[in-house]
Structure 1
């Protein structure tokens, strides 16, 4: 019993909003009366006729295109008025444009940075349905360890037993060597891949059949780059390439891997070869625990459920873990698009970065941009006295709040777009510098301009304009015509706190946090590089052997007068490279994972390790069996050995990899890993020569280029193909903390920009304040005020705000580093008071100079010239 719905909707469509409620109410009253008097059908007919009857000029709302036309006319007016305001206020406009341009160049860099990272692997056709099977390895006495790899057995079980999977492919890393074609020898690295590889990934083949390219043994697929490197411009398909003693047939040439791909390789080799070689040599190839070299990727159907597959993986893991003692291996799905944004997984197949680091960098960039926005807001509100008459006239002429807001937001957007042009030039200049911060960036990022990226830049500029202009716009829009001639800068955020003061405090708080964080970070970084590692690295050069037997090279090195001593080791310690094994102590029937390094008898003396008890290894021949081991103090504590007495531990027997070894020495604890990790139980083994990966040479020379040339000449005798890889130990340690160094440089650069922007804003505020108080200063000067007194009077407010910012920034920075950042480093330096106040003192001096110079200029003006018209 109601009027026709379509008639009601028609009335709502054409009627003006101001008349709709009254007219609709009256028509409903008439409908109720007619319903009782004439019945439902006639009441509805009369209601329809009344709806059409009231379709008149005074009831019909304005067409939308008229409103749109009015808006476009208003936008034109906004642009014209904004342009005049920008030209009329050159100093303030210049400060805002330059400040926004500096901050937006950082924003452009972050947009390009994030765009690259979130574009990784998006060229794969089924990328949203591809997952990698990762592994979590946990032993009873250790924390879980995440790996990007999984076992071959896991991959095979997934293929055979888990339903709901469309495709599966297996990869194995570690293929590499010298590709020989005729007389040419070219170093090549790659991975083994099974025949399903090209069904899972969208790497296009330029030559060959993707269905059969990796099916047969000794099949090899080259990238364009590697094909040209080996065969030049000739046809590679069907050609033979020799690695060691085996000949491989080129069955395909694929397009070069895009830079934004999480996997990198030169060649693909049939996975059949990996199975043939490893199974014949060692039956452990198919073990569930062989999780360090293989990768498993799966493709789900379009309707596939990752949670269902994960539940099946959990069941598979639980079943295979039953025979294991004190160890649990679990399989975890990881979406393809997240692989490059997950740096915590060990054994990656390509570059990756931690997503947390990305968000930190985005946050820092936003702070710099907000700092410039605060400048704009502060200067706009500071100029409220001059702009208030303009606002008052607009309101008297009938302008609504939305019109006033539109005017000031449009002006901010125009300034932001002008800043975008300048910031784009800065971006192109800074891009190369940003990529050169670390080889990691050059390897992982391109930062190339694209139409999509330029669109994001425009959207960011408009967004910055809206953020910068919205507060001044709302500020002016709320003023009424009576108050418009008063000082509008007294608008308060909190009681006794003006908006300008609050924003200045926030801006300088961020600036002080940046400066202090840079100083603390740099001090910690330098302390890492000079930290006492427990052994010496001075003048030691580490030479990578790359699988070459270095006997002759060692002999030639010892004949060089600049070489004082030479030793060998499996790996270079204190760089983050870790090798572990199981140690069993028979007396307590206890076993645990320990860190290990293979060294010769010259290693400990060359690095000046300190013996607490016992002796060094005895020299031995290649044929001699391994019988001795040297341990650190942590071994005694972990196994409660000999009452923790190093002297009594000499002669104790331990079992490592099935060998019974006698402890012949105990060395003082030293840093095997990086300073992020606590010192762990460690054994030094005296193994055969073919297990050594590095030669450690102690060199004393005043002409390093000549010494290196002599070493290179000796190296060419044993390996004419590969270049000599010789690095100073100190340089390698710097590289180990490179990520920390990059963060310090980035924060330092951002702090410099933030401080520049803050002081540009301060300059504008000081200039405006001194101009508006010029008459007051002149009167005080006539009454006898000194220049020093005037400087104090005008600067005390700014200094007080800076003091408030320091009270917020310095404790916040200290707590953040002490409780969040440095807790990740087991060995770090305490934060000193001087590191906290240096930034404050620098900021205070710069602020005083800037405020004092402008105030002194006004204080020295002639009062007669200022007051002659009063």
Structure 2
């Protein structure tokens, strides 16, 4: 019986070639789009689940409110780790993770500044799953000045040599002994490392205070211990350890601070939630966003729905061509169940063929799609044990969903009426088909509207005046190691033709800034401020406009105790009307904190994402002997390649063999919106495909409608109808449903996009 169903199904596929081609093409493209998006979604949902105890690993962050400012960060104090281990038996182990900077490493004549160099506790390997190639995880980081590196780094520095026991120099200050080689974390990890050094190398860490929120703290919770129960204990840690320090630090009682709205909390984050649900300051790496998962999942469902609607519409429209077949089958004894099975077999067979074609499309498109979403995606059809079973289920579900209504509809005809041609034609009661056309075009138009909105936002972001000039600035990176030669380095850069100016800073706009409390001198009203350190030339390089006063100048010796702030900071400190000469201070453990004199107020500018309000920011001069790791070089727009070559030569004059690394600031700043831009491109591509699939189905419906009305068209032409008039007549019904689709889609899109 099944073989008979298949024979008939194949015969019908070849008999109605145009119908079959349209249906299979629509299904194949829809399935390919759906599977590609699902590959991305599943990859995003898989983050950090490769750890053996992933469900029991947590990170502690901090959030709260001080004055008019809210703060949240993925970091916590270093002393928290020992408190967790010693005072809470449900904590199996804990580790701190810290990046003290990007050290310049040397081995022989190889010199590199490494960004993924972290210092951790030896218990790191008890909390996280790390595969050792060489070395012992129990002892690898127990001793000071020991370091574990990845296989890639071992190859980079040592080639084919065995790195175990060798020494690698850091910043010309200390040598680290290599005690292990490990596999890299996979891509679906919320943070990655190249080097893990022992925190025992720094003896001062456990003496740092409870307000020094500068370390990532992870811990492993006892199996079956409720995370909510442990989270309820976190306020007790704050009351016992943090509040006394705050009172001493700010010279104000906790009761008074709470009356003013102060809030200070530790937050518990499952490690598997960090990538999609955490958007705190000071994240180890940029995270994803669960909102994009919802958006892409809806797009995948929408495209597949459109493809299935195409199938349903074309099958019911084609019913007139199969009425005689149905009547004969029923007369010869076929039951309704048998007819349903026959039509579902045809539907599932089409689904199978469409899946095969979609797999070919995926194989071709996957590298391009992976590059688009910035992921290394693979579709392991034969390497993953679940792939084939899931595909079979997918084929059955799609085939059944798309073919269910046509099967029920076609099998319901009365054989006597069919053979006497008393049954209404499918085109005379097309309410469902028209409704489905409305649904699929409403979905397509909603996606298209979303695309327009996203691109308008991106256009706004691209053209919005930020309040500073990000153009024609080259950032020379990782300049830590030439700090003591910074002034000479800068002067040599300025001597290059076409170099206008150069400035050293510890931070760049678009990066995370540290939140630090400042207040007017002699008051206890603290405000959290973003702070960065720079030299005398930073504002001129970025063409930051001054609202009042001036920027720093090397001609004023008193500027070492001065401070420059933006309008928002002046307003929060209550000095916006007459700021120049006012004193502000940073509260610390000293009884008499040093005051800073305000010498200038900058016009507000967007130093962070446009998604965030302009926050208060202070710029301070470097303390004597301190230097930043970025040099911003302002250049003229001509002969950029020649200037880069000359800047590189100056770099090697001071940095020796260290690799010359640079970025153009405008391109680097644009990375703040990288996720939005990527989303815009993805939504655009799949929206266009959704509309094409819908139009493909509409083309098929139009062809069948025209075929059914051939006699009517002939009569109208005989009676004098023009070709444009006939075309308008045939398109009128479809245009009506597309207009209705627009009426439905616009309010839905407006509501969804406002959410």
TM-score (norm 2): 0.90
Distance 1:491 1:723, change over 3 A: farther
Deviations 1:365-388 (A, max 9, x none): 111111111111111111111123
Structure 1 equivalent of residue 424 of structure 2:
487
Distance 1:123 1:718, change over 3 A: same
Structure 2 equivalent of residue 162 of structure 1:
88
2:364 to 417, 429, 442: 429
**Structure 1 residue 96: Cα displacement:** 1.0
1:151 to 77, 97, 100: 77
Runs of 4+ in structure 1 deviating by more than 6 angstroms, as ranges, are none
The residue matched to 2:91 in structure 1 has which SS?
coil
Q: Distance in 2 between matches of 1:264 and 1:582?
A: 31
The residue matched to 1:383 in structure 2 has which SS?
helix
Q: Distance in 2 between matches of 1:670 and 1:478?
A: 69
Contact 1:594 1:683 in 2 (8 A): yes
Distance 1:293 1:757, change over 3 A: same
Q: Distance in 2 between matches of 1:666 and 1:195?
A: 47
Q: Distance in 2 between matches of 1:438 and 1:142?
A: 38
Say if 2:527 is the partner of 1:605.
no
Distance 1:406 1:140, change over 3 A: farther
Within-5 A mapping of 1:360-375: 360-375=295-310
1:307 to 228, 244, 248: 228
Q: Distance in 2 between matches of 1:542 and 1:805?
A: 51
Deviations 1:694-719 (A, max 9, x none): 32222114222111111111111122
Q: Distance in 2 between matches of 1:625 and 1:636?
A: 18
Say if 2:586 is the partner of 1:653.
no
The residue matched to 1:792 in structure 2 has which SS?
helix
Q: Distance in 2 between matches of 1:669 and 1:104?
A: 49
Say if 2:498 is the partner of 1:562.
yes
Distance 1:225 1:684, change over 3 A: closer
| Cα RMSD, aligned residues only | 2.6
Deviations 1:396-453 (A, max 9, x none): 34444433332222212111111112111211222221222254x35xx555553233
Say if 2:24 is the partner of 1:97.
yes
Say if 2:727 is the partner of 1:791.
yes
Q: Unmatched 5+ residue regions in structure 2?
A: 247-253, 588-592
Structure 1 equivalent of residue 118 of structure 2:
191
Structure 2 equivalent of residue 498 of structure 1:
431
1:512 to 440, 445, 452: 445
Contact 1:598 1:686 in 2 (8 A): yes
Q: Distance in 1 between matches of 2:622 and 2:166?
A: 41
Contact 1:121 1:337 in 2 (8 A): yes
Contact 1:134 1:146 in 2 (8 A): no
Contact 1:611 1:667 in 2 (8 A): yes
Contact 1:134 1:147 in 2 (8 A): no
Structure 2 equivalent of residue 291 of structure 1:
213
Aligned length in residues: 725
1:120 to 25, 39, 47: 47
The residue matched to 1:185 in structure 2 has which SS?
strand
Distance 1:682 1:166, change over 3 A: closer
Contact 2:150 2:183 in 1 (8 A): yes
Structure 1 equivalent of residue 251 of structure 2:
none
Structure 2 equivalent of residue 411 of structure 1:
346
The residue matched to 1:665 in structure 2 has which SS?
strand
Q: Which has the higher contact order (CA 8 A, sep 6+)?
A: 2
Structure 2 equivalent of residue 521 of structure 1:
454
**Structure 1 residue 747: Cα displacement:** 0.7
| Greater Cα shift, 426-435 or 318-327 | 318-327
**Structure 1 residue 790: Cα displacement:** 1.1
Q: Distance in 2 between matches of 1:506 and 1:672?
A: 44
Structure 2 equivalent of residue 618 of structure 1:
553
Structure 2 equivalent of residue 682 of structure 1:
617
Distance 1:713 1:457, change over 3 A: farther
2:191 to 263, 282, 305: 263
Q: Distance in 2 between matches of 1:613 and 1:624?
A: 18
Contact 1:578 1:673 in 2 (8 A): no
1:460 to 386, 394, 400: 394
Q: Distance in 1 between matches of 2:159 and 2:3?
A: 61
> Rg larger in 1 or in 2?
1
Q: Unmatched 5+ residue regions in structure 1?
A: 1-72, 821-870
Q: Distance in 1 between matches of 2:183 and 2:670?
A: 36
Contact 2:184 2:193 in 1 (8 A): no
Q: Distance in 2 between matches of 1:137 and 1:145?
A: 5
**Structure 1 residue 760: Cα displacement:** 0.8
Structure 2 equivalent of residue 534 of structure 1:
467
Q: Distance in 2 between matches of 1:263 and 1:630?
A: 35
Q: Distance in 2 between matches of 1:406 and 1:778?
A: 39
Deviations 1:133-180 (A, max 9, x none): 321320233576443333222221111111233333333334642333
TM-score (norm 1): 0.78
Structure 1 equivalent of residue 687 of structure 2:
751
